[in-house]
Amino acid sequence: MSKQQETRNRILEAGFDIASNNGLESLTIGELAKQVEMSKSGLFSHFNSRANLQAAVVNFAAEKFEERIVVPCQKLTYLSVEQKLRDLIKNWLDWNGSFQGSCLFLDAWRENSQPDDVVQAALKGVTSRWLEYLHYQFNKGASQGEFVNELDGWQKVYELYGLYLSSHLFNNLTLAGSSRDRFWQGIDALFESCRADR
């Protein structure tokens, strides 16, 4: 790895920490330059704009997301697709709970963004890849006979993401006791509706 790449990675690691704790909008060239003890101009030369910096941090966060959520499951051998999905989901929920703030990807999302918004484009790419991976797992379960043959994989991903968003909201508002318990009750019901032997 070149010295320039090492410096860039150090910047992105610090940027990821800031964005995870305080949200992506809190990430500025000036604040990050202080954190990594660089001049503003020196840091700016790596990204050329604040938007490019934020997009790079989103993509860096996506790599961390894959390392913590997907890769551990890929290293294991599963007897059922459901168990793999449950482990992926647990890792996903743990990812969200591991930060002082909340989900970096959710907090940074904006509706009606401009077509040339590089930050939102990065967020859409990250989110789409994750949802497509979950969709693949549900379809795999159906094709292997573990889930019902007529399973609508995208519907199940839709329901799963709805549970995740609800858990995120209820946790932030400290409503109705343990949002995590309610989340897993919802997950149990979701898989019950998927199983071929129900």
CB 7 within 8 A of CB 46: yes
pLDDT given at position 75: 96
The structure tokens listed for 186 are 């919802």
Provide the 3-class DSSP secondary structure of residue 32: helix
Per the model's pLDDT, the better-predicted residue between 186 and 4 turns out to be: 186
Domains delineated in the chain: 3-194 (1.10.357.10)
Provide the 3-class DSSP secondary structure of residue 152: coil
In 27-182, DSSP assigns E strands to none
Helix axes 153-173, 118-143, angle to 10 degrees: 120
Q: Which residue in 7, 27, 8, 25 sits closest to 17, CA to CA?
A: 27
pLDDT (tens digit per residue) in 52-89: 999 999 999 999 999 999 999 999 999 999 999 999 99
| Residue 94 exposed, middle or buried by CB count within 10 Å (0-12, 13-18, 19+) | exposed
The structure tokens listed for 116 are 């040339």
Could you give the angle at the alpha carbon of 12 between the alpha carbons of 110 and 14, nearest 5°? 100
3-state secondary structure 32-66: HHHHHCCCHHHHHHHHCCHHHHHHHHHHHHHHHHH
Rounded average pLDDT over 157-183: 82
Q: Is the pLDDT of residue 181 over 90?
A: no
Provide the 3-class DSSP secondary structure of residue 195: strand
Q: In which band, very low, low, confident or very high, does the pLDDT at 135 lie, cut at 50, 70 and 90?
A: very high
Q: pTM for the complete prediction?
A: 0.88
